């Protein structure tokens, strides 16, 4: 599977964002429902600014969306980007399975021949 151009950069941003456990946890929480950045910050042993940076990485990768309500920034997961990432992984899995099938066929051919 070859991904080119802006799609490649987008995929890179998504998987970079998902490479961090805190960001994966933030994403999971925002999949369950909208959360304020301040509420998220209370959940982690780091500064508010550090949580904001994690949210910014997720937002840059289009994994979450932020909206302002009064003084709060509310964060919600972007299911479309998550589906796109799952499709990329699905294509990679298909390649892997096809290679295993060819390997198995070669072993069967060798054993019978």
pLDDT band at 5 (very low <50, low <70, confident <90, very high): low
Which uninterrupted H or E stretch holds 98?
Answer: helix 79-112
Quick one: CA dihedral 43, 44, 50, 51, positive or negative?
negative
Q: What is the pLDDT of residue 4?
A: 58
Nearest to 78 by CA among 100, 46, 55: 55
Domain that holds residue 66: 5-112
Q: What is the CATH number of the domain that holds 89?
A: 1.10.10.10
Q: How many domains does the chain have?
A: 1
Q: 7-47: per-residue pLDDT in tens? A: 778 889 999 999 999 999 999 999 999 999 999 999 999 99
Q: 49-78: per-residue pLDDT in tens? A: 999 999 999 999 999 999 999 999 999 999
Q: 72-102: per-residue pLDDT in tens? A: 999 999 999 999 888 888 888 888 888 887 8
């Amino acid at each position: 599977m070859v991904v080119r151009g802006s799609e490649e950069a987008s995929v890179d941003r998504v998987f970079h964002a998902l490479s961090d456990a805190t960001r994966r946890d933030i994403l999971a929480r925002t999949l369950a429902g909208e959360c304020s950045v301040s509420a998220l910050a209370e959940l982690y042993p780091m500064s508010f600014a550090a949580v904001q940076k994690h949210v910014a990485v997720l937002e840059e990768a289009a994994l979450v969306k932020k909206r302002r309500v009064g003084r709060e920034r509310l964060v919600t997961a972007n299911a479309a980007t998550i589906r796109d990432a799952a499709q990329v992984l699905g294509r990679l899995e298909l390649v892997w399975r096809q290679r295993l099938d060819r390997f198995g066929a070669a072993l069967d051919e060798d054993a019978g021949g």
